[in-house]
Structure 1
Amino acid sequence: MKRINLASLDRRRKIGALIVIILVIAGIGVGSNLWYQSSRYITTDNARISAPLIPVSTLGTSQIISLDVDLGSYVERGQRVAEVGQPRVSDSTNMRGFKAIPTSPTGVEAPVSGYVAAIWAYPGAVITTGQPIMTLYDSSNVWVTANIEETKMGRVHPGQKVKITVDSLRGATLEGTVEGIAAATAATFSLIPQQSTTGTFIKVVQVVPVKIAIEKPESSVLLPGTSVEVKISTR
């Protein structure tokens, strides 16, 4: 008959009990930290860099002669970004009694300093009044738009400090401050209505846009639309 080593069995029981105690303590520590973080901070990754997007257009129908900038170029306010002229009229049109008004080429200037975010028309294209040639974004005025769940909005107020983690800067952290809170949910301005007109209703937690000012923005690398994570201090 095989003899049971009581000392070895007792040692195993002690080790097992010690492991259980360690796991319980670790669980309590993790739970306490989560409670502490959730009670002092509101965190979300549903946030983006925002900036004013300024269209560059002409006051009348024109034909683009040339573009003086490329996508991503930095321009100063008043700098020429394109040259336009009167659209060409074909000979067949002239024969019917129409004739192009002779005008000299005109330069189109940037209304603000910033970066070329998009180019919508190229040399040879005819644009109408108000149709943008390109879009600039004002790099001197960038902020974060964070969508916060409505159930947490009672804890968000202007003036609260925010830590902003920027994905495009390899996780670099910037400081910010809650500057404003939208007076309606994000769904209110959606092109597709969120309200159900049928008998079936599923409650969905809405989000409210919150504007966060960046204290020291690195405007040259903070591109509109890029993702960030925000951590709002509620105390």
Structure 2
Amino acid sequence: MKKKIIILTVLAIILLGGGAGGTYYFAMASKYINTEDAKIAGDLRAIGTPGAGKLIEWNYKEGDSFKKGDILGMVETTPARGNTPAILQEIIAVEEGTIIQFNGVKDQMVSPTSAIAMSANLDKLYVTANLQETEIADAKIGNKVTIKVDAYPDAVITGHVERLGLGTNSSFSLLSSSNASGNFTKVIQRIPVKISIDSYQGKRLVPGLNATVKIEK
């Protein structure tokens, strides 16, 4: 008899716990859109040269910031006419940013068709999150967002939905999604959402960091 009471008590606890968990999950699902398919992002800019020639000067290393109009480097270009002296051309920043990658080598030949560096404004980063097509109707511009960045698990960063994508990720793919075999399997599509960041909370955020977002409905 005593053993039966213990078993019934354990079952009751399990059922109550499961019910409470289910209630909590339903409440969260009804109030928020959650996804781990999110990353810190920024507007990357490729920095090229004004002409083909030799890179004789580069003034910024990776991690250095610059202002619009700053001289990033210098290229020595040689005109087609052999007797004409070489011309020095400045590589001028068209907007402020930070060098996040540098591929050039001093005194080697460069071309305006190839980027020698990549930059981004690290003060204007945002989050890109991919929501399922069944969730996008609940996402509205201006909705509050809680952002958790994997690199800083203890930090709670807030933001707002800034823009909803106008197409699914697959619609922008270079590969055709047409099916010539006649077989069809429906796949849930994902739509990109841009989320502004209210404050970095003193954390060093960089493009590409994984994040989890919770968007209020």
TM-score (norm 2): 0.91
Q: Which is further off, 171-180 or 54-63?
A: 54-63
| 1:69 aligned residue | 60
| 1:196 aligned residue | 179
Q: 1:47 aligns with which of 26, 31, 38?
A: 38
| SS class of match (1:105) | strand
CA RMSD of aligned residues (A): 2.1
Q: 2:12 aligns with which of 21, 38, 56?
A: 21
| 1:216 aligned residue | 199
Q: CA deviation at 1:121?
A: 2.1
Against the structure 1 CA distance between its residues 217 and 112, is the aligned structure 2 distance closer, same or farther, given a 3 Å change threshold?
farther
CA distance in 2: counterparts of 1:219 and 1:61, whole angstroms: 41
Q: CA deviation at 1:51?
A: 1.0
Q: 1:153 aligns with which of 128, 132, 136?
A: 136
CA distance in 2: counterparts of 1:204 and 1:100, whole angstroms: 64
* Equivalent pair of 1:44/1:148 in contact (CA under 8 Å): yes
| Matched-pair identity in % | 26
CA distance in 2: counterparts of 1:220 and 1:82, whole angstroms: 30
Q: Which is further off, 123-132 or 41-50?
A: 123-132
Q: Radius of gyration: which is bigger?
A: 1
Which runs of structure 2 are paired with 1:93-108 in the superposition (5 Å)? Answer: 99=82, 101-108=84-91
Larger % of strand: which? 2
* Structure 2: tracts of 5 or more residues without a match: none
Q: CA deviation at 1:218?
A: 5.8
Against the structure 1 CA distance between its residues 219 and 14, is the aligned structure 2 distance closer, same or farther, given a 3 Å change threshold?
closer
CA distance in 1: counterparts of 2:135 and 2:193, whole angstroms: 12
Q: CA deviation at 1:174?
A: 0.7
Larger % of helix: which? 1
CA distance in 2: counterparts of 1:219 and 1:115, whole angstroms: 18
* Equivalent pair of 2:77/2:89 in contact (CA under 8 Å): no
| 1:178 aligned residue | 161
| 1:228 aligned residue | 211
Against the structure 1 CA distance between its residues 17 and 191, is the aligned structure 2 distance closer, same or farther, given a 3 Å change threshold?
same
Against the structure 1 CA distance between its residues 101 and 29, is the aligned structure 2 distance closer, same or farther, given a 3 Å change threshold?
farther
* Structure 1: tracts of 5 or more residues without a match: 1-9, 90-96
* Equivalent pair of 2:40/2:125 in contact (CA under 8 Å): yes
| 1:125 aligned residue | 108
Q: CA deviation at 1:33?
A: 0.7
CA distance in 1: counterparts of 2:101 and 2:77, whole angstroms: 24
* Equivalent pair of 2:51/2:75 in contact (CA under 8 Å): no
Q: 1:32 aligns with which of 23, 33, 45?
A: 23
Letter in 1 for 2:121: D
* Equivalent pair of 1:163/1:232 in contact (CA under 8 Å): yes
CA deviations on 1:24-47 (whole Å, 9 max, x unpaired) are 100001111111111111100101
